[in-house]
Structure 1
Amino acid sequence: MKQSCILGESIKEIINEEYGDGIMSAIDFFCSVDKVKGVDGKDRVVLTFDGKYLPHTEQKSEHMVSRLNLG
């Protein structure tokens, strides 16, 4: 599956274009590989990546619990 390594950045860009700035989580992630017949009758490979989309969230240091004055 060398293609997934080579195309990783392109896949991430497509996810960002479709859903906004974020990632597909590797937690609760599934990958399936299927063989189908193409229109020309030749075998083709279908890869399906099924993962949770996690939008980017800005984390500010002033919101850190360890920096809040709770006393």
Structure 2
Amino acid sequence: MDTIEITKEIDRVLELFGMTGVKAAEAMGVTYATFNSKKNPNNDRHKFNQKNLDDLKNFIREAFQKL
């Protein structure tokens, strides 16, 4: 997956589960400022990567297992 596809998938997951940027940043192990930088399409320095997507999905899986 390229960064555009990863960003779209992250946006889809966040919308599906109604997650805020703060909680998503926590799930990915990044600061909120870095999360916002990665979400900004005009920022060439920070981009979402496969690890960010995997961390987000694992966070959601673990949260559901606790229920």
User: Please, what TM-score do these two structures have when normalized by structure 2?
Assistant: 0.27
User: Please, what TM-score do these two structures have when normalized by structure 1?
Assistant: 0.27
Structure with the bigger percentage of helix: 2
Higher relative contact order (CA 8 A, sep 6+): 2
Which is higher, the Rg of structure 1 or of structure 2? 1
